[in-house]
């Protein structure tokens, strides 16, 4: 949608029938200004030793390099063909560096992690997601530059997940949420795995984590708001990145008129849900992340905007990336039936037939652990790490990187590097039985949740959800690709498969 609108706008701008003398003069001035700017960038590349990159063009920079293929695939192909482990690109408004090798990834996020640990403050597409309504203070941990706001909110989010595992653990999921899911899908023959399994379960679990047991009843209220915000953010990134000359101003306006209003609606929903705690849900006042957040607010560690942003990031960063991981791993399993058979055999032998999986069982299931890791390798939640930048001028991979220049790590490419993963396009969970691989990404090869100081603060909750949801589905059901599902792609800034449809039948030994 955003790309189509951009093409229409550009076509109108360059239609001679719509020109007046003033329009022509303005257009010439803009072209000259932009061309001079791009010339300065090219000169700076020669004088400042920026990383190499393909030929750029006036106004559109490297947009032509994106045609005909999905962005991460195209960038990975460019890096491999030209032997560029680190590349620089010029989009119309945002100079960008793409990192495409484990060695440079490790240098950037571990060796020099204290330098490349910030976010691009100038990007308006994320400003509505990290700034207080009055625009005077930074909030949250996801998009906020290195500083006090990022540190305190991240600390609360990480500590909250540790408390969740210690106090609530998997009990409520096993006792309440999974039986609710089973009741909803047991009578179904073919289901939409993205919506009926992944999205529903993930948001219900997150509701319990953030607001306490019983809050899962509000998941249906939050899911459509989340869906809208993902579309809005995607559109805003496209506007800011790909519209020559007017992208920054258009992004500012879109953010002000659309994104900020939607964020305000979500924050109001969180306030309303909190007001019902102890009234309509969580009557026993059991623990939730909101307890820690409200205590930190009372103690003056955070302000109210930061408190609301912590809730927002749990759902914004927790829903779609985890949905993609759950759905992608299920797709890997149903497209490779032997994997499902091996998972079920391992679970039956270790746990016993008909016994519900619990999180504490996972450490005794090495093949299933390999399935989760392989699923995250092939179907990672996002193709690039959230943009990083250096908070001072630095060097990376032998090249100069100016302060605040945007850096992207191509996770899609790293996961398909044959030097790190032989037969990289094949689903082989066994590969992780032969190597000591964790989720910290410290070798720069297997990177899922990020690396170093900016590693995803929600990693623990994401892995909890993946293990419980995927493990329970594999254990209880025989799964297969539905006949009506087609391997087609949606449109958008980053393409993805249409929602996965699967057939399921309950296995013997598991009661309704």
pLDDT digits (tens, 9 = 90+) for 52-72: 999 888 888 887 776 655 788
% of the chain with per-residue pLDDT over 90: 65
- Count of residues in the chain: 512
Q: How confident is the model at residue 167 (pLDDT cuts 50, 70, 90)?
A: very high
**Average pLDDT of span 382-395:** 92
Which residues carry a binding-site annotation?
456
**Average pLDDT of span 353-357:** 93
Which DSSP helix (H) or strand (E) runs through 87?
strand 86-90
Q: Is 17 a residue whose pLDDT tops 50?
A: no
Q: Is 192 a residue whose pLDDT tops 70?
A: yes
pLDDT recorded at residue 343 = 98
Which residues carry a binding-site annotation for heme?
456
- What is 2-130+138-506's CATH number? 1.10.630.10
pLDDT recorded at residue 4 = 36
**Average pLDDT of span 366-381:** 92
More confident: 489 or 379: 379
pLDDT recorded at residue 490 = 58
Q: Is 38 a residue whose pLDDT tops 50?
A: no
Q: Is 162 a residue whose pLDDT tops 90?
A: yes
Q: What is the DSSP string of 193-226?
A: IIIIIIIHHHHHHHHHHHH-TTGGGGHHHHHHHH
Buried b (16+ CB within 10 A) or exposed e, 345-384: ebbeeebeeeebbbbebbeebebbbbbbbbbbbbbbbbbb
Secondary structure letter of residue 389 according to DSSP: B
pLDDT recorded at residue 69 = 53
Q: Is 427 a residue whose pLDDT tops 50?
A: yes
Kindly report the average pLDDT of the chain as a whole number.
86
Least confident piece of the model among 32-46, 65-79, 478-492: 32-46
Q: Is 487 a residue whose pLDDT tops 80?
A: no
At 255-300, the pLDDT tens digits run 889 998 999 999 999 999 999 999 999 999 999 999 999 999 999 9
pLDDT recorded at residue 62 = 84
Sign of CA dihedral 322, 327, 332, 334: positive
pLDDT recorded at residue 47 = 43
Q: What is the DSSP string of 420-462?
A: TSSSTTS--GGGGTSS---SS-TTSSS-SS--GGGS-TTHHHH
Task: Judge contact between 266 and 225, C-beta under 8 A.
Answer: yes
Place of tokens 């795995």: 193
Q: How confident is the model at residue 496 (pLDDT cuts 50, 70, 90)?
A: low
**Average pLDDT of span 102-115:** 96
pLDDT recorded at residue 12 = 31
Q: How confident is the model at residue 495 (pLDDT cuts 50, 70, 90)?
A: low
Count Cα neighbours of 194 within 13 Å in the Cβ-side half-sphere: 13
């Amino acid at each position: 949608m955003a790309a189509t609108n951009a093409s229409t706008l550009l076509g109108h701008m360059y239609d001679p029938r719509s020109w007046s003398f003033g329009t022509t003069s303005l257009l010439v001035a803009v072209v000259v200004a932009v061309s001079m700017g791009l010339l300065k960038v090219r000169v700076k590349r020669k004088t400042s030793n920026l990383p190499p990159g393909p030929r750029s063009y006036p106004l559109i920079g490297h947009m032509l390099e994106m045609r005909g293929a999905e962005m991460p695939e195209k960038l990975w192909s460019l890096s491999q063909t030209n032997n560029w482990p680190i590349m620089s690109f010029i989009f119309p408004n945002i100079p960008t560096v793409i990192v495409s090798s484990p060695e440079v990834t490790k240098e950037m996020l571990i060796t020099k992690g204290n330098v490349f640990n910030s976010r691009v403050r100038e990007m308006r597409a994320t400003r509505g997601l990290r700034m207080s309504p009055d625009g005077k203070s930074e909030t949250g941990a996801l998009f906020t530059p290195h500083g006090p706001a990022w540190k305190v909110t991240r600390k609360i989010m990480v500590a909250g997940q540790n408390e969740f595992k210690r106090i609530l653990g998997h009990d409520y999921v096993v006792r309440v949420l999974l039986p609710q899911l089973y009741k909803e899908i047991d009578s179904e023959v073919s289901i939409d795995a993205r919506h009926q399994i992944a999205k529903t379960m993930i948001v219900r679990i997150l509701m319990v984590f953030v607001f306490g047991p019983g809050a899962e009843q509000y998941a249906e209220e939050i899911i459509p708001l989340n869906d809208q915000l993902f579309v809005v953010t995607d559109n805003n990134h496209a506007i800011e990145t790909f519209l020559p000359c007017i992208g920054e101003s258009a992004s500012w306006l879109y953010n002000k008129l659309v994104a900020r209003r939607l964020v305000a609606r979500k924050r109001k929903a969180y306030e309303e849900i909190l007001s019902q705690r102890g009234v309509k849900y969580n009557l026993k006042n059991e623990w939730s992340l909101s307890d820690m957040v409200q205590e930190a607010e009372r103690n003056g560690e955070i302000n109210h905007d930061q408190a609301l942003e912590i809730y927002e990031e749990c759902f914004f960063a927790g829903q779609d990336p985890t949905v993609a991981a759950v759905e992608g791993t299920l797709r890997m399993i149903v497209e490779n039936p032997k994997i499902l058979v091996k998972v079920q055999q391992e679970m039956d032998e270790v746990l016993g037939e008909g016994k519900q999986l619990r999180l504490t069982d996972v450490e005794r299931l090495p093949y299933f652990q390999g399935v989760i890791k392989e699923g995250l390798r092939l179907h990672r939640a996002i193709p690039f790490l959230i943009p990083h930048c250096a908070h001072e001028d630095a060097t990376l991979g032998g090249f100069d990187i100016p302060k605040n220049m945007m850096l992207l790590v191509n996770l899609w490419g790293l996961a398909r590097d044959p030097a790190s993963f032989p037969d990289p396009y094949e689903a082989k969970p066994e590969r992780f039985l032969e190597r000591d691989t964790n989720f910290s990404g410290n070798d720069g090869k297997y990177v899922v949740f990020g690396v170093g100081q900016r590693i995803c603060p929600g990693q623990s909750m994401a892995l909890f959800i993946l293990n419980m949801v995927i493990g329970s589905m594999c254990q209880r059901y025989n799964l297969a690709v539905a006949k009506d599902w087609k391997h087609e792609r949606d449109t958008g800034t980053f393409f993805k498969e249409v929602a996965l449809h699967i057939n399921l039948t309950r296995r013997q030994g598991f009661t309704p």
